[in-house]
Structure 1
Amino acid sequence: MKPLLRHSIDGICTEVAVLEPSTSVSSSIESKSRYAAFSKTQRRWIVVLVALAAFIPPLSVFIYMPIIDTLAEELDVSIEHIDITITSYLLVQGLIPALLSNLSDQLGRRVVYLVSLPIFCAACVGLALQESYPELLIFRMVQSAGTSGLLALGALVVTDVTPRDRRGRYMSGMLIGVNLGPVVAPVAGGFMADTVGWHQCFWLLLAFGSSDAYACVIPSWFWDFH
């Protein structure tokens, strides 16, 4: 019910309805002011950072495929045992994103990035140094836990910082990293396995993960949207 303003003129009492701003108008103004906090340059750099992070999960999956036979031979296990490491990796990757999305709503996107990427980096070090099948299995699951939320987080970040009418353009920029991973990773994995050894594949993943984690730490003003 709209509030009424009562006043009297020459003994005649009149009532005038007081108009209040609608909820939709208020929320629209609030949304526009939130997006206005970011310049075009800031939005572009944020999308670059989340695209680099979104590049890591497919890179981690597909760089592993060319070295399966080599791992089975050097660790003295069957291909079926190596397949279990792939299944466990994908299982963890399917379970974790829902949890991380909720945590990012409560703690902020940047916090979840700064937890996920160091977990991924630690697992990469373990994988590069491991010499046994149990270590391979465990560290691949930990690695998956570190990467599994990066795609969902990237989409959430783009939604947070871009207006709806321009969101598709920025979202496509983020997806470049997602689509580039399956193209680059198998070639890189096969080449490195044949030349410098399969251990170097995980050192390469460490380089990408640590670089993106460092980028998340330094430009804090890019991330002040939560």
Structure 2
Amino acid sequence: MTVWDRPEPPPRPVPLDRARIVAAAVALADEGGLEAVSLRKVAARLNAGPMRLYGYISTKQELLDLMVDEVYAEILPEERTGDWREALGSLAHRTRRAALRHVWLADLLGGRPALGPNGLAVSEATLSALDGLADIDTVLRAVETVSAYFTGAIRREAADLRAERDTGLSKGDWQRARGPHVTRMLATGRFPALSKAVHDGTHVDAETSFATGLEWVLDAVAARLTRPPA
């Protein structure tokens, strides 16, 4: 039985329910990452005894599942679209924006499917936009391909944000601090391709890089979806 199937106990003596527990856990994670979340810390945030929480949530994994599903409510599109490309593109951008608001989410993306009501609703909205375009296996591979792209891109961006939080150095500050070392290494002539990338490549921000890569992936998916059956 999942946490969503199990009834909640009566909210006594301190008013308590899963929604309040999850909200407190999300706030803790937003402030200090997943390492800041434990049933004990959540209970302290709610001025409740830790054992009270076990009536609502049995394990930390259940708490993490509930936290992810809470954020999936932010990813769920406000209205469904019949355009598959818009649907997959929206899924990618909405997931990225949610992960920028909740950096810890990146660590929980890409694993087992989200089975909460919001996660299932996101999957339904995504798959329904591709319904009828191809056989179900092709549709599933298309969704998996796009998901693999944006999950990897989001994790990379989240890693930069965590590093900035932990070190106090922005990505630009970090690059400037290591500039002399990189310059010396490139001057050896051992890394000509890398040197060309550093000196001639155009710098783009994270959002532009994400959007460009997403469009390329969607172009590849479009070619597969519109390919005539063998």
TM over 0.5: no
- Which one has the largest radius of gyration? 1
Higher RCO by CA contacts (8 Å cutoff, separation 6 or greater): 1
The structure in which a higher percent of residues are strand is 1
TM-score by length of 2: 0.30
Q: Which protein has the bigger helix share?
A: 1
